[in-house]
Amino acid sequence: MQKLIIASNNPGKLREISRILAPLGFEAVPQSAYNVPEAEEPYVTFVENCIAKARHAAHLTGLPALADDSGICVDALGGAPGVYSARYAGEPKSDQRNNEKLIAALAGQSNRQAHYYCVIVYLRHADDPQPLIAEGSWHGEIIDTPRGDGGFGYDPYFLVPALGKTGAELAPDEKNTISHRGKALLQLVDKLRSGQ
């Protein structure tokens, strides 16, 4: 098994990433196992933040690294919270406070369309000039009352109309086939398998 540093300490992301990459022979290891602090994310785009996180983890560990930057973009809020999804309600990070702020911001709005967006970057080493970049989107709408106890983040409020379920009501394997992160990971897997 090839050790691969995951530039995240989010247990939900780690579970999803590990499940998809294990068949390729990668042992996904959280950056915390190497005492890697969280990287700064000063950029306004997902891809720039993602590359910064992967380079940070690869540089400090000397190992290949994978980073994900993702968030929820709500049409009525001009794409917010976007890259600020994890810290939408400020520090410390809190899914509950983020969701409360989102629902409050949408009060009285009839347009509840939203999508999750994910960028994943794989670096072979810290100075890799050709990072593998994959992306995925997952469209739905925001509901006022949470449903389900799976997933994480905004999942209990993110309804997939075609399924009549929220992200938190989906089984992990079902979610991984249709979610933004699942799509990005599968795109990455294709690139890894084709030797890009």
Per-residue pLDDT of the chain (196 residues; tens, 9 = 90+): 889 999 988 887 788 788 888 888 999 999 999 999 999 888 999 999 999 999 999 999 999 999 999 999 999 999 999 999 999 999 998 999 999 999 999 999 999 999 999 999 999 999 999 999 999 999 999 999 999 998 889 999 999 999 999 999 999 888 888 999 889 999 999 998 887 6
Question: Catalytic residue at 95?
Answer: no
Closest of 191, 182, 134, 193 to residue 155, by C-alpha: 182
Residue 161: count of CB within 10 angstroms of its CB: 10
Q: Report the pLDDT value the prediction gives residue 158, as an integer from 0 to 100.
A: 97
Any binding-site annotation on 26? no
Is 161 annotated as a binding-site member?
Answer: no
Residue 16 labelled as part of a binding site: no
21 contact partners, CB below 8 Å, separation of at least 6: 4, 28, 66, 185, 189
Of 68, 69, 95, 127, the catalytic one is 69
pTM of the full structure: 0.89
70 labelled ligand-binding:
yes
Q: Note the pLDDT of residue 16.
A: 79
What is the structure's pLDDT at 123?
97
pLDDT of residue 196: 63
CATH code of 2-194, in short, is: 3.90.950.10
Q: Name every residue whose Cβ is closer than 8 Å to that of residue 181 and which is 6 or more positions away in sequence.
A: 13, 16, 17, 68, 70, 116, 118, 120, 136
